[in-house]
Amino acid sequence: MTGSPETTLPPPGRPVRKDEIELPERGLYIESWLPERRSRRRPLLFVHGELGGSWVWERFLGYFAGRGWEGHALNLRNHHWSQTADPSELSFESFVDDVAAAMARLGSGVVIVGHGMGGLLALKAAERRPIAGIVLIASELPATIRDRTLPHLIREVPELFGPSLLGWATLPERLQRDHRDLSLADVLRIQHLMGQKPHESGRARRAMLRGVHVDPASVAGIPRLVIGGGLDQTVPLEAAERLATYLDAPFEPFGAHSHFGLILGEEGHGQVAEAVRSFLEANRL
């Protein structure tokens, strides 16, 4: 673990134990944080976005396990603790396969929580397997409501890319100015962990920019929530609200939160986690 109990388990909390799930047939590693005593609450499956990993969810894992939910944070192939693979051979579709495999392992009662590209992956995986609920945090948009990306910008995405393409290969002080809800320690941690497996799949990003079609009917009958951040330079607040309208889902805006600050900011993640907890409790999940 990269964090300490003081930063990952905000009070009040119950005792937590950590576990892991491995899916060797796909080379996947799922980091699990479990309440000491099992409850009837639905298991949560957390799905990260580009250049992420289970590390982006560490504070959420601690928060929810300390309140009775078991949380399982997937590492897509070639991300964090999952099996190393050639990123040029990975694709958006292969990542959807990874998410679907994790869903199959956890069962149909799972609530899936996706961030960034992970939200779009969650929507596609929900077309394949039943789920109990879905939470989309700063999620990338499906093709129907996504602004058109100019063809030359899609062609310019390399086969492999790293943090520089996402604007994270610069001075930490500059990043903190651009992400005012993140502490310097938050920024340094993100930069360090992004660099563990520094190459992302250009094929997956190009597919996302071209537009991934999603059938909103696949989540129409289940509880759903969309969350956006006012300081998010990756998925603007207006885009997140557009997704909520498209899915006919409640929308929770956090005006002072950035893209990563929504889920791992030392100061701000708790407000978002509280909103998700309220959603889960209101829907008896």
Q: What is the mean pLDDT of residues 190-214?
A: 93
How does residue 128 score in pLDDT terms, banded at 50, 70 and 90? Answer: very high
Share of the chain above pLDDT 90, in %: 87
5-282 belongs to which homologous superfamily?
A: Alpha/Beta hydrolase fold, catalytic domain (3.40.50.1820)
Which runs of consecutive H residues, i.e. helices, occur in the chain?
5-8, 58-65, 92-106, 117-126, 151-155, 172-178, 184-194, 202-210, 237-247, 261-264, 269-282
Is pLDDT above 70 for 101? Answer: yes
What's the pLDDT at 55?
Answer: 96
Reported as a pLDDT band with limits 50, 70 and 90, residue 9 is very low
- Strands 16-23 and 28-35, by their bridges, are antiparallel
> What is the DSSP annotation of 81-150?
TSPP--GGG--HHHHHHHHHHHHHHH-TTPEEEEETHHHHHHHHHHTTS--SEEEEESPPPPGGGSPPPP
For residue 263 the two structure tokens come to 């889920």
pLDDT greater than 70 at residue 13: no
> Mean pLDDT of all residues in the chain?
93
The domain spans of the chain are 5-282
For residue 2, pLDDT beyond 50: no
Measured CA angle at 168 (ends 163, 171), to 5 deg: 130
| 208 and 120 Cβ atoms separated by less than 8 Å | yes
- Spatial CA neighbour of 158 closest among 102, 74, 256, 88: 88
| pLDDT higher than 70, residue 11 | no
pLDDT in tens, 55-86: 999 999 999 999 999 999 999 999 988 988 88
